[in-house]
Amino acid sequence: MKKLLFALLPALLLLSACGDDKEYKLDVDTRAMTFSAEDAGAQTLTVTAENVDWGVEPDAAAAWLHLEKREGSVSVTVDDNTEAEPRQARFTITSNVTQVSSIGITLTQSAKSDGSLLDASPKELTFAASDAPAATTT
């Protein structure tokens, strides 16, 4: 009996060393998203996962960022940016498998326009002074 046990021991060790042969994959279609300051529509982040349960971890400091996990994607929406400065946030696509790293997504939203840019029409004016040539201003 001992001989049989010692003969089977190397085979058992070899089988236990094989472990999990599954391939794991977690990927996204972009790692950066950009939104306009106002009336920005929803954008979709596509998530590809094989043998992985994934989740979405929001940036706790960005209350203006809204994430909705869907089948194979995340819907991303933002509140209007009422500030004169652009803002950034980051959220993470997480994995339940230790062999697969989480993926960070950076989101940038434009600053609100302060309306200081003027657009005039016509674009060109011509002035003539007495006894002087006409001058054109653009």
Q: What span, in angstroms and rounded, lies between the C-alpha atoms of 48 and 95?
A: 12
In a domain, 136, yes or no: no
Q: What's the number of domains the chain is made of?
A: 1
Tens digit of each residue's pLDDT (9 = 90 or more) over 72-100: 999 999 999 999 999 999 999 999 999 99
pLDDT for the residue numbered 125? 64
* Cα→Cα distances 102→88, 90, 122, Å: 19, 12, 54
Q: Tell whether pTM > 0.75.
A: no
Tens digit of each residue's pLDDT (9 = 90 or more) over 44-56: 999 999 999 999 9
Tokens 């472990």 belong to which residue?
19
In a domain, 135, yes or no: no
Segments forming the whole domain that contains residue 88: 22-109
Virtual torsion, Cα 125, 129, 133, 136, nearest 10 deg: -10
Residue 128: pLDDT above 80?
A: no
pLDDT for the residue numbered 135? 66
Structure tokens belonging to residue 114: 């302060």
Q: What is the mean pLDDT of the chain?
A: 84
